Amino acid sequence: MTRYLIIAPPPTPNGGFHIGHVSGPYLGADICKRMLHLNDHPARYVISTDNNQSYVSTTAKRLGTDPDRLVAQARADIAATLRDYRLRVDLFGEQGPAYDAYVKQGFARLLETGRLAWRMVDVLFDKTTSTYPVESYISGICPNCSASTCGGICEACGHANNAIDIIDNADGRYEIRQEQRLVFDIEHYRAAMTEELNKLHLRPYLKNLVRHYMKGPIAPFVMSYKIGRGIDTGFCGEEGQQLNVWGEMLFGHRYFLEQAAGAVKQDDKYIQFFGYDNSYFYVILHTAMALALKETGCEWPLPCAFVTNQFYNLEAAKFSTSKGHLIWANDYAQRHHPDLIRFYLALNGPELQEADFVTSIFEREAARLAGKINRLSALYNTHGKALPADAASGLRDLTRPYAFDLDHLADFMIGDAARKAVNVMDLIIRRVEQGQTAYAALIPSCIANLLAPFCPAHAAACQDQRTLPHLEQTK
């Protein structure tokens, strides 16, 4: 059978998950995997952590701690979230010597075949610190949308930038230098990317971003920098630089998928979940790199679907660790049942546009959802247990697993599937209360097939139980 290989972005290990993190690709990928399994399609879901990201170093400095200690603590916190929220990854990958060797082998392949080259490029130099600031080391104004941004990518609009694009150098602090860096020519693959991406259904914001870049020309991508953290480029012939983590990440995805699922094959269906803000890296850069690797004879499946989500705000403002404006996922799971958090996020999360998490609304809606779920249990315990096994045989289609178009997975809407689960629960409750008690026989299959992707802990507790348990809203 066709295998589905699901990747969500490796979180930067500079802290744990807040509710905004959970609401995005990590929950989406988990629900997608569960629904594939319910429809008898094998699937693997893998994440790792982005240990070489510049934000690890800058956060460690801000907190006055060692970067490696920060990574270890963040990984422990993220692992706890995966457990608490039943985010059923097949592997939570960890980097090490074998990972580094795999990444180096991939880059060497591109370099040796001429797909990657050392070139002189413009770089930004900070005369005050004698450093070459990129990503978290530099901030300014996005040249596309005028929002405040760090280097590399604008979270507001998703457009790539380099440090030179975004700074205001009125004080003369910075200068532009010409230095040698590893460079990947994305523009060379624009026609082939256009052909591949036109095959896919893309969500609206991503579709607009791709349309912008496919008009071209696309700037070359600088694959190395000098930040002091990451895989050194000595194996490429020049020491003292580090591989750009966004290029490294493509090989990381493949490495950890192989750890979880064995050899990746051309006919595997590869699904990439991610937040829209990083679309340029996952869709433009990684597609071009995958095409380059295929030219070298590498069996490298291109994604069959890109599934994006927008930002989730908290009380009408962006989640912010530095400002303390957040709700830590692990803390919230100690106060509210994680199943109810998952269910609420699926119903109200930012799939196609930004959404807002409001604690008072969550608490009200969580109580409402818990009430429906517990009403199902009460009705089954009162009426369903006494019914013969075939009491609702003519109604079984109501509670079949949610079906979605496997050829257009980007069109799969978690919110639609969650709303169907609510609708079927409401229908069963209404019919049983009207005296049509045969509907009570559907309750176990409703929980197992429609509710389970959202409330896996409760579904597991109900499995093979003669008396269905109560779900507590708070702890």
Which tens digit of pLDDT belongs to each residue from 367-388?
999 999 999 999 999 999 899 8
d(CA 100, CA 77): 24
Confidence band (pLDDT; 50, 70, 90) for 392? confident
Domain limits, CATH 3.40.50.620, in the chain = 4-313
Instruction: Report the percentage of the chain scoring pLDDT > 90.
Output: 88
Architecture of domain 4-313: 3-Layer(aba) Sandwich (3.40)
How does pLDDT run across 145-198, given as a tens digit for each residue?
999 999 999 999 999 998 899 988 888 999 999 999 999 999 999 999 999 999
Confidence band (pLDDT; 50, 70, 90) for 411? confident
DSSP-derived 3-state class of residue 336: strand
Answer yes or no: is pLDDT of 319 > 90: no
Domain limits, CATH 1.10.730, in the chain = 336-462
pLDDT for residue 284: 98
Predicted TM-score of the model (pTM) = 0.96
| Phi/psi at 91 (5° precision) | -155, 130
Looking at 1.10.730, 3.40.228, 1.10.10, 1.10.150, the CATH number of the domain 336-462 comes to 1.10.730
pLDDT for residue 299: 80
Q: Where are the alpha helices (DSSP H) in 64-177?
A: 67-84, 97-112, 163-166
DSSP-derived 3-state class of residue 309: strand
How does pLDDT run across 220-279, given as a tens digit for each residue?
999 999 999 999 999 999 999 999 999 999 999 999 999 999 998 878 999 999 999 999
pLDDT for residue 45: 97
pLDDT for residue 474: 84
Q: How many residues does the chain have?
A: 475
pLDDT for residue 168: 85
pLDDT for residue 21: 95
For the ranges 228-232, 393-397, 423-427, which has the lowest average pLDDT?
A: 393-397
Phi-psi region of 74 (alpha: psi -120 to 50; beta: other; left: phi over 0): alpha
How does pLDDT run across 34-46, given as a tens digit for each residue?
999 999 999 999 9
How does pLDDT run across 283-301, given as a tens digit for each residue?
999 999 999 999 999 888 8
CA neighbor of 404 nearest in space, from 439, 448, 450, 447: 450
